[in-house]
Structures are given as C-alpha cells and as structure tokens.
C-alpha cells in the first residue's frame, strides 16, 4: 500500500475515510481520542495542497436516516482537534453538486455514510458515487478496516488510493508486534469468553512465545483441566476447544500462563467480600473475579524476559474494584518496561484501552491502537478488507 508521501495532492480533492465513531454523552463527544488521532493525516493533506472531505460512519443506523446518529455532533471536537473550520454536508446529493466556491471550509465532513443502505452492502453504485467526490482516496480508518463496505473497500477500486498516517501507524505497530517481532514475544489475552476469542487464541499460540490467559476465559481453561471453578463464569461446552488450544501451544513451543491463584467472591459487585485462594481451590459457592498475586508475579517475570508484548482484554473483572488489581499491576509493569526501552508494547481492542488507561499505563505503551473489532480480527490473522483494498 501507498502512503501520503507517495501521492501528489496539489489542488486535488481528497476523500478521507476516517473512523470517528466516538462515544457521546449528554449530547457531546465524551472521548475524542479517535478524532485527535486523524489530525496528522488531515493536516498533512492540507499542507500538500489537497482539499479534504471526510467520510465516516457513526453507530449502526442500518441504512436509514437516524437523527440521533448524525455526525453533526462531532463538529466541535473535529474543529478543535484539526484546528480549522469544518463544513458539514448533509447529503450525498448536496456533495455532488457542490462547486469549488462552496467548499469555503478547510475541511468538509459528509453525513453518516451508513444512512445509505449501499454502504454496508458495499454497493458498487454507491462506491462509484463516493469516488466521484474525490480525485484521491485516503483510508485512515484502520478501526473500520474489518468491514468490506463501500466507503472502506469499494471506493478504492475507482481512485488512486493510499493509507493515512493513522492507518500507517497502526499497520506498522501491529507488524512490529506480530509480523516480524523482536523475540521473545508475549501476548496477554483477557475478557470473558473463549468463544469470542477462539480464532485469536489459535493464531497466537502459533506465533508468540508466551501467552497469558486471564479474565473469565481463563476459568474455561482451568475447568478444562478438571479444576472446579465453583460459580465462576465458565463455558463448559468449550472445554474440548480449550484443551485443543493448549495442545497446539505445546506443539508450537508456546508457554501458556493461566492463573495459579485467584481472587474469589460470593457476589459480582464492587468491593464484595473476597479472599485469595489457589486456583485449584475455588469454593463451590464462590466465583473467580481476578488473578492473584502469585499469578501477577509470574506475569511480571515473563514481562522481564519479553521484548515484545501484545495485549487484549483485562485479566479480571476490571470494572469492579478491587478486582482490577491484577490488570493494573501487570499493566504498570509493562509500562515500566516500555518506559525503560526494554519492551515494545502494543495494546488494543474493545475495553482494553480504557482498562489500561485507568491503570495509568497507556502513556508508556509503545502503541495504543484505536481499533476494537479490527484489532481482534487482525490478531486472528485475518486479512482486513479495508487494508486489502489499498493493496490492490
Ligand atoms: C468500531 O467502533 O470499532 C468501528 O467504528 C467499527 O464499528 P462497527 O462495529 O459498527 O462496524
């Protein structure tokens, strides 16, 4: 794929697919990270004489106009992050009849592209209409690159295309973590269910040297070894799958770290009465809500040896203190090693970043991905349609 450095943009209309699918609270953007992260791309395009138009989705309106899902709400945050004026274009029809004079704003933002049924269907007709709005296509939406939609994939067939700065940074960081990593490579995978991360675990055991499994999914692995996990969240029907993953790890030379001690409680609530017990001794009426200090110490030792770390998912019930302790401790250790220049650390996916943020660890990580689902699919080893479209 090409980058902005390869493109001549002087006087050209540049369609930039961005992901500004940001959280909103009380009518305002509550976390502008994704908006801030596209700023270098937009600035570079303007500096090269290009005229940017942003294409983006917001929520899942399923091909209908849903007023609550208008991208208009992002305008103040966009103007602030980009440091220039942003004009809003309500419809594709309006965008198509816009003259150069009408493009008074520095940057234009087209209304939620998912208001069109053709977007998610990757309708060739919509892709061609979008292509008509630009001379060059720049995809800066790594976090939407797992979707084969008209604005992420289809449009690239019609125009000279390149990756934006954020897309470039995401792909370079992920390549450094899993493509050609400095070894030993360690992965931390947490979260509640094995069933949602099956392909990911299967791919990782073939690629990393050490795999830490935490969160609810670790219970399934413990149970698969015949350990009674009491009332813990556990997918008993995934026991065979868990055993197969462990067997694959053994043949691939990947060490799996599971909790050896656990923090258990009788209710799933913040500050619930709790105790720490060996992982083999979860009381029948209790549930495992976090990994214990012995496990954290083992993870810390593994982090001392690792040169590359890829992290997805919390190690315990992170949203309920004190069951955030293992995630915090491991995240802080990873941050410390990264700060010392001893570790390349990459994190992403779903609630991972907010968990690491709360642990105060993100500033020291080498790279924090803006992607949720796309990060997971990339970790699963899948080809992302939005990236593939730039390659063709
Ligand atoms: C995300 O928020 O992860 C991306 O914007 C993709 O959104 P989607 O899951 O609705 O396609």
Angle between helices 239-252 and 216-224 (to 10 degrees): 80
Using CA atoms in the order 341, 347, 352, 354, what is the torsion angle rounded to 10 degrees? 60
Instruction: Report d(CA 326, CA 33) in Å as an integer.
Output: 26
**Which residues lie across from 37 on neighbouring strands?**
none
In ligand 1, the atom with minimum distance to the C-alpha of 21 is 5
Atom of ligand 1 nearest to the CA of 60: 10
348/173 Cα distance (integer angstroms): 11
pLDDT for res 101: 65
Mutate to test the pocket of ligand 1, among 351, 372, 384 (most ligand atoms within 8 A of CB): 372
Which of 35, 139, 143 is the pocket-test mutation for ligand 1 (most atoms within 8 Å of CB)?
143
Outline where DSSP puts E strands in the chain.
Answer: 13-17, 24-25, 28-29, 51-55, 86-89, 107-110, 136-139, 161-163, 185-189, 210-213, 255-257, 261-265, 274-278, 287-291, 308-312, 344-347, 367-368
Q: Is 21 annotated as a binding residue?
A: yes
Residue 207 catalytic? Answer: no
- 342 Cα–ligand 1 center, Å: 33
The alpha carbon of 196 and the centre of ligand 1 are apart by a number of angstroms equal to 16
Q: Is 202 annotated as a binding residue?
A: no
385: helix, coil or strand? helix
Atom of ligand 1 nearest to the CA of 59: 10
Pairwise CA distance, residues 63 & 121, whole Å: 9
As separate numbers, helices (DSSP H) first and strands (DSSP E) second, the chain gives 15, 17
- Atom 9 of ligand 1: nearest residue by CA position: 373
- As for ligand 1, residues whose beta carbon falls within 6 Å of it are 19, 21, 60, 143-144, 147, 372-373
Pocket perturbation via mutation, ligand 1, pick of 34, 144, 350 by most ligand atoms within 8 A of CB: 144
The answer to whether 319 is annotated as binding is yes
What pLDDT does residue 194 have?
85
Return the pLDDT at 355: 87
| CA 34–ligand 1 middle distance (angstroms) | 12
Q: Domains (ranges, CATH) in the chain?
A: 4-166 (3.40.50.1260), 181-379 (3.40.50.1260)
Q: Tell me the ipTM for this assembly.
A: 0.99
Is 28 annotated in a binding site? The answer is no
* Residue closest by Cα to atom 6 of ligand 1: 144
164 is catalytic: no
**Distance of CA 160 from the midpoint of ligand 1 (Å):** 25
Strands 161-163 and 107-110: unpaired
Any binding-site annotation on 17?
no
How many whole angstroms separate alpha carbon 207 and alpha carbon 186? 9
> Exactly one of 43, 350, 381, 382 is catalytic; which is it?
350
Active site residue 350: yes
DSSP letter at 384 equals P
Residue owning the nearest CA to atom 4 of ligand 1: 144
Report the alpha-carbon distance of residue 245 to residue 224 in Å, rounded.
11
- Give how far Cα 267 sits from Cα of 123, 223, 264, 272, Å: 49, 20, 9, 6
- DSSP track, 182-214: PSSEEEEE-SS-STTSHHHHHHHHTT-SEEEE-
Ligand 1 atom with least separation from CA of 147: 11
- In the chain, which stretches have pLDDT less than 50? none
Does 28 qualify as catalytic in the annotation? no
Cα–ligand 1 centroid distance for 143 (angstroms) = 7
pLDDT given at position 102: 67
How many angstroms from the chain centroid is the CA of residue 272?
A: 31
- Taking the centre of ligand 1 as the mean of its atom positions, its distance from the CA of residue 59, in whole angstroms, is 7
Alpha-carbon separation of residue 290 from 107, 279, 361 (angstroms): 47, 11, 19
């Amino acid at each position: 794929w090409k980058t902005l450095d390869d493109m001549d943009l002087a006087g050209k209309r540049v369609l930039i697919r961005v992901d500004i699918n940001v959280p909103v609270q009380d009518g305002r953007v509550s976390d502008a990270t994704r908006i801030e992260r596209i700023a270098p791309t937009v600035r570079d395009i303007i500096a090269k004489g290009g005229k940017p138009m942003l294409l983006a989705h917001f929520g899942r309106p399923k091909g209908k106009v849903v007023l609550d899902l208008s991208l208009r709400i992002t305008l103040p945050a966009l103007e602030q992050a980009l440091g220039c004026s942003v004009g809003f274009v309500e419809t594709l029809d309006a965008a198509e009849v816009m003259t150069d004079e009408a493009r008074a704003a520095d940057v234009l933002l087209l209304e939620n592209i998912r208001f069109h049924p053709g977007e998610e269907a990757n309708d060739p007709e919509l892709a061609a209409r979008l292509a008509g709005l630009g001379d060059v296509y720049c995809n800066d939406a790594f976090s939407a690159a797992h979707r084969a939609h008209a604005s992420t994939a289809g449009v690239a067939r019609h125009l000279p295309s390149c990756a934006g700065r954020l897309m470039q940074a995401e792909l370079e960081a992920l390549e450094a973590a899993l493509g050609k990593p400095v070894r030993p490579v360690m992965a931390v995978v947490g979260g509640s269910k094995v069933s949602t991360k099956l392909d990911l675990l299967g791919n990782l055991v073939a690629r990393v040297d050490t795999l830490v499994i935490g969160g609810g999914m670790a219970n399934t692995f413990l149970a698969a070894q015949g350990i009674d996990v009491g009332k813990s969240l556990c997918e008993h029907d995934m026991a065979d799958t868990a055993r197969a993953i462990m067997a694959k790890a053994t043949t691939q030379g990947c060490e799996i770290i599971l909790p050896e001690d656990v923090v258990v409680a009788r209710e799933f609530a913040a500050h619930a009465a709790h105790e720490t017990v060996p992982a083999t001794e979860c009381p029948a009426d209790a549930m495992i809500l976090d990994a214990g200090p012995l496990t954290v110490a083992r993870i810390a030792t593994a982090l001392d040896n690792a040169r590359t770390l890829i992290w997805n998912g919390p190690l315990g019930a992170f949203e309920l203190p004190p069951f955030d302790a293992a995630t915090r401790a491991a995240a802080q250790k990873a941050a410390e090693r990264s700060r010392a220049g001893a570790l390349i650390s990459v994190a992403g996916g779903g609630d991972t970043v907010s968990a690491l943020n709360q642990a105060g660890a993100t500033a020291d990580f080498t790279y924090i991905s803006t992607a949720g689902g796309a990060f997971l699919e990339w970790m699963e080893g899948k080809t992302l349609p939005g990236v593939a479209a730039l390659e063709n």
